[in-house]
Amino acid sequence: MKRRDLLRSIGILPILTGRFGAASALARATNAAVLRPKRRVRPSHPSWPSAASWAKLKDEVGGNLIEVHSLFGSCRSNSNGAACLEALKGMSNPYWIGDQPAGTQVSGWLDAWSPAPSTYAIKARHAADVAAGITFARANNLRLAVKGGAHSYQGTSNAADSLLIWTRSMNSVGLHDAFVPKGCEGRIAPAPAVTAEAGAVWMDLYNAVTTQGGRYVQGGGCMTVGVAGLVQSGGFGVFSKGFGTAAAGLLEAEVVTADSQVRVVNAYSDPDLFWALKGGGGGTFGVVTRLTLRTHELPRYFGGAWGKIKAQSDAAFTRLIAHFVSFYNEKLFNPHWGEQVKLGTDNTMEISMTCHGLDDGQAAATWKPLFEWVKASPRDFVVISQLGAGARDSRHWWAVEGNHNMTLDTRTGVPRDHAWSKADQGECGIFLHGYDSLWLPKSLLQIKQQPSLVDALFAASRRKLLRVFFNKGLAGAPLSVLEDTRQTAMNPAVVEAFALVIIADGQGLAYPGLTRGTLDLTAARKDAQDIDLAAAELRKIAPNAGSYVSESNYFNRSWQQDFWGGNYLRLRAIKAKYDSDGLFFVHHGVGSEDWSPDGFTRLA
């Protein structure tokens, strides 16, 4: 193979003369091509590490190397045994699932992936354990998996026959009054911040920062999502329209790279890697073991709007969508309002919006015109769930005590502040038939464009339920939020979009080993097809809008462009610099096109 063809095949030729220098990049790529192994080993392979080698690794990590077994494997042999009964009891608790080395919060995806346990897992306590695992995987040519919160729809923290770096036990959280990143004294002003280890979930941070500390940190909407994974994917929360993405708030990270080096990265130390960690995708550039995020002054009030409306005909539903689009553009397209509106195939509109910085009266007054318009046409619209809007003390938003919107984790020995939103219960263990997302650009809100937007939303809603998340498109946010987001690795389309539409469906628990009814494959694939058709209706008006990496289609053929846009070439170069052998692999992660779908065989 000629050298130029080789470089083209690994996707870095167009950028060799850029940020990293032509000569050094050329040398790295050429040497890596000679030394890279072609196939990773499995337990059945003669080169699989010996029992003595595994025992030595176990000693190196303080005894924290464990065998991993399927989440419900015990139910196959003894459905009445203690292990099976414990699993059956815990399967509706997302914290319990995350506490299992084989746990995945999604129980699989039709024709895509199914939960499969790693062979061994390192239950990491600190970065040195992670480094030992990386060294062992590299030396023995093993498939490596990385898991913190286990919330990946794509199954990226799940790989059979692999060594798992499991960071769940690394979950400490600490607050700073005046944090300065390492080596940045005199360059970056001290600022309030929060530091979390990689196994922490967002409820840990919300409790420490807001409920206890009286400040705000931009994180995820789901309280059991891992902090490190969300930041590396970009990360939206219910108040992102006002505060931006989680990635944009990253001040510093500790990360173990493929050479087993523990690096502390920030805007001045390994700035290219630091940038890639801000939205370039988890499990791709290294194992993040600790990160520090800026915190914000807490608004006095958090609130929202709610209710459900049913239109009595298709014509009335189209009119309702049109009126809401106009209302959103005039009253809600600003930093205050986020979260979602659902548009159903049964001509229903369900409002589940959130706001910050508005008091109870201001929130109610904002929505009064829309609610009155609906109630003025009883022949066209029926209110099937009470319409309302309001606000409350923001410091109690994530407080567990007395919060009827949360389900408490009642297991013995777990943190008393661990709870999850009742609204998220349906996603616990879901088996996906299909999933897709796309951003809607703000240009569609222009008065001349609104009819096209309305028609597309109506047409798509004939196929599947649409969830229009206004907090997951940042157009309408403050200029400072937009600029901070542009400094991340996310697809730049996010700052031009006013919303992210998510179209998805599935069914209940389908973990391997768990007894369940027979899957109706015909119906499930019809469901998946309808999701594709609904997304296609919206792509007619937003053909190059992009898609959010963490909430996207497993089968997306244009994933590089949709997830990262013009940032992808730079991400590829950073991947080549820090992980030239492709030790870190995830489905549709940067550089994954060089490997077979299971991550075991190099293709390029």
Q: Tell whether 366 and 323 lie within a shared domain.
A: yes
Q: Which two tokens stand for residue 98?
A: 């995350």
Final residue of a structural domain among 169, 198, 232: 169
94/534 Cα distance (integer angstroms): 30
- Cα–Cα distances (Å) from 466 to 108, 326, 380, 433, 534, in that order, read 22, 18, 21, 15, 8
Q: Tell whether 263 and 354 lie within a shared domain.
A: no
Given a cut of 70, whether residue 8 has pLDDT beyond it is no
Q: Tell whether 447 and 530 lie within a shared domain.
A: yes
Q: Tell whether 466 and 512 lie within a shared domain.
A: yes
131/139 Cα distance (integer angstroms): 12
Categorize the per-residue pLDDT at 11 as very low, low, confident or very high, splitting at 50, 70 and 90. Answer: very low
**Ranges of H-type helices in 445-555:** 450-461, 479-486, 521-539
> Is residue 448 domain-resident?
yes
User: Percentage of the chain surpassing pLDDT 90?
Assistant: 89
Final residue of a structural domain among 135, 169, 203: 169
> Is residue 451 domain-resident?
yes
Q: Tell whether 190 and 164 lie within a shared domain.
A: no
Q: Residue 239 sits in a domain of what CATH number? A: 3.30.465.10
User: How many other CB atoms sit within 10 Å of the CB of residue 128?
Assistant: 16
Task: Please report how many Cα atoms fall inside a 13 Å half-sphere around the Cα of residue 531, on the Cβ side.
Answer: 26
> Is residue 420 domain-resident?
no
State the DSSP string of 376-419: T-TTTEEEEEEEEEEEEEGGGTT--TT-TTEEE---TTS-TT-E
Q: Tell whether 310 and 187 lie within a shared domain.
A: no
Whole-model pTM over 0.75: yes
Q: Tell whether 236 and 104 lie within a shared domain.
A: no
Tens digits of per-residue pLDDT, 427-464? 999 999 999 999 999 999 999 999 999 999 999 999 99
Q: Which two tokens stand for residue 411?
A: 């297991």
Residue 25's pLDDT is what?
42
Task: Please report how many Cα atoms fall inside a 13 Å half-sphere around the Cα of residue 47, on the Cβ side.
Answer: 12
> Is residue 581 domain-resident?
no
Given a cut of 80, whether residue 517 has pLDDT beyond it is no
> Is residue 44 domain-resident?
no
* Letter string b/e over residues 199-208, b meaning 16 or more CB atoms within 10 A of that residue's CB: bbbbbbbbbb
> Is residue 251 domain-resident?
yes
Residues 279-296, mean pLDDT to the nearest whole number: 98
Q: Which two tokens stand for residue 440?
A: 């809607």
Residue 36's pLDDT is what?
54
Q: Tell whether 471 and 366 lie within a shared domain.
A: yes
Q: Tell whether 187 and 151 lie within a shared domain.
A: no
Instruction: Indicate the DSSP class of residue 211.
Output: I
Angle 506-509-514 from CA coordinates, rounded to 5°: 140
> Torsions phi, psi of 55, nearest 5?
-65, -40
Q: Which two tokens stand for residue 433?
A: 């038939």
Average pLDDT, the chain: 93
Given a cut of 80, whether residue 515 has pLDDT beyond it is no
Residues 73-88, mean pLDDT to the nearest whole number: 90
243/302 Cα distance (integer angstroms): 13
Given a cut of 90, whether residue 106 has pLDDT beyond it is yes
Q: Tell me, rounded to whole angstroms, the distance of Cα 350 from its chain centroid.
A: 24
Final residue of a structural domain among 121, 149, 169: 169
Given a cut of 80, whether residue 238 has pLDDT beyond it is yes
Q: Tell whether 217 and 150 lie within a shared domain.
A: no
> Is residue 158 domain-resident?
yes
Cβ 570 vs Cβ 15: under 8 Å:
yes
Cβ 490 vs Cβ 567: under 8 Å:
yes
Q: Which residues contact 517 (CB under 8 A, 6 or more apart)?
A: none
Q: Tell whether 285 and 329 lie within a shared domain.
A: no
Residues 216-221, mean pLDDT to the nearest whole number: 96
Q: Tell whether 212 and 265 lie within a shared domain.
A: yes
Bridge-based pairing of strands 163-166 and 120-123 is: parallel
163 beta partners = 120, 144
Categorize the per-residue pLDDT at 516 as very low, low, confident or very high, splitting at 50, 70 and 90. Answer: low
Residue 20's pLDDT is what?
37
Residue 513's pLDDT is what?
87
- Cα–Cα distances (Å) from 154 to 37, 120, 194, 207, 589, in that order, read 26, 21, 29, 28, 10
> Is residue 570 domain-resident?
no
Q: Residue 89 sits in a domain of what CATH number? A: 3.30.43.10
How many separate domains does the chain show? 3
Tens digits of per-residue pLDDT, 530-556? 999 999 999 999 999 999 999 999 999
Domain that holds residue 91: 51-169
Residues 294-314, mean pLDDT to the nearest whole number: 98
- Cα–Cα distances (Å) from 461 to 36, 444, 521, 531, in that order, read 48, 17, 23, 10
Q: Residue 370 sits in a domain of what CATH number? A: 3.40.462.20
- Cα–Cα distances (Å) from 268 to 184, 274, 535, 566, in that order, read 7, 9, 41, 23
Cβ 436 vs Cβ 553: under 8 Å:
yes
430/427 Cα distance (integer angstroms): 5
Tens digits of per-residue pLDDT, 121-134? 999 999 999 999 99
